[in-house]
Amino acid sequence: MIPMVNLKAQYAEIKDEVEAGLATTIENCSFILGPNVQGFEKEAAEYLGVKHAIGVASGTDALHLALIAEGIKAGDEVITSAFTFIATAEAIKYVGAIPVFVDVDPKTFNITAATIEAAITDKTTAVMPVHLFGLPVDMPAIQAVCAKHDLKIIEDCAQSFGASIDDKQTGSMGNASGYSFFPSKNLGAFGDGGLVVTNSDETADKLKQLRNHGSNVRYYHDVIGFNSRLDDMQAVVLRAKLKRIDRYNDSRRHAAHLYSELMADLPVETPYEDGVGVHVYHQYTLLSDRRDDILKALQDKGVGCAVYYPVPLHQQNVFKEDCAGQVLPETEAIAARCISLPICSELSDDTVREIVAIIRNVFED
């Protein structure tokens, strides 16, 4: 059995440090917005090269609160990808705005300045690019389009912790950006957690209020807020993993490059790297006409694999009315041919070779 993500191996190395930190939080009963949350926020902001980092309860909340803090409101149109996890679009719906799905580039699987620009109307107020599978979107081009049309950028960095482009971290180029610490993400907590980052003092102040019942001073409430805080125990785990995130991402890249090298002669399309952005391989995703055969062969041998994402958002039941008749050719073609293989920071070369041998067999049968 080879799992999609091996979290146990990662834990073994940080166990002592994490257990000591958790014991201290428990002894001090500093559970909510405690010293580790503050410490983590400071360390994450430094790592990401941003002025402010605000811990929240999940990646979904991070995107939701970022949209509110940036003033995105009911009736606004927010341009985003249909080839992403539902949470991207849910956050847009939560503020009453309308997700406008545009097509992706067939190589990067990300939305582009061109597909965005073609969808701008006088109701568009923001763009939510998703750095899908850990490959940065072309931010300089998107920033140029958004500056020209006076649009806000809310980056969905749930899959891209540590990815960069032009030596800038994803998340540091938008007005506000959301990260997820769902356990299987590149930087994963031991439960749910999220982070919003921004360079704006004003946005940061709003976010601190919004996550804590609309309050800066206890029992004085200025706006209707939320209960959406990162808890101290999760922050203990995240601080230990943040120290090691470059190594974790480097091993993901190493495994990904080995996969691609070993499959170079097979009729599959291996993940694209543009040489500008640094891909952190939240997923290692292939395209193949024989996707379903590969899926079955791997499953038969007990190898974890998955289709991310089988149904693009514009074709989901929940958006059937909103998106009636919409066709996104590239997105639909990718969804029909994609398969994600096991990838994590503890994947050995031998395991990669074993997985590739199973895939090779599919084409040799």
**Residue ranges in contact with ligand PLP by CB under 6 A:** 58-60, 84-85, 87-88, 130, 156, 158-159, 180, 182, 192, 194
| CB closer to ligand PLP out of 128 and 298 | 128
Cβ–Cβ under 8 Å, residues 84 and 207: no
| Nearest residue to the partner ligand PLP, using Cβ | 59
Which helix (H) or strand (E) is 153 found in, with range? strand 152-156
Half-sphere exposure of 79 (CA within 13 A, CB side): 28
| CB closer to ligand PLP out of 263 and 309 | 309
Order the strands of the 168-169 sheet from edge to edge: 168-169, 164-165, 277-278
Nearest distance in Å: CB 57, ligand PLP: 8
Nearest distance in Å: CB 281, ligand PLP: 13
| CB closer to ligand PLP out of 109 and 259 | 109
C-alpha to C-alpha distance for 250 and 265, rounded to whole angstroms: 24
Nearest distance in Å: CB 158, ligand PLP: 3
| CB closer to ligand PLP out of 85 and 259 | 85
Nearest distance in Å: CB 335, ligand PLP: 15
C-alpha to C-alpha distance for 358 and 50, rounded to whole angstroms: 43
| CB closer to ligand PLP out of 270 and 283 | 283
Nearest distance in Å: CB 156, ligand PLP: 5
Nearest distance in Å: CB 64, ligand PLP: 9
Structure tokens at 143: 């920033």
| CB closer to ligand PLP out of 196 and 266 | 196
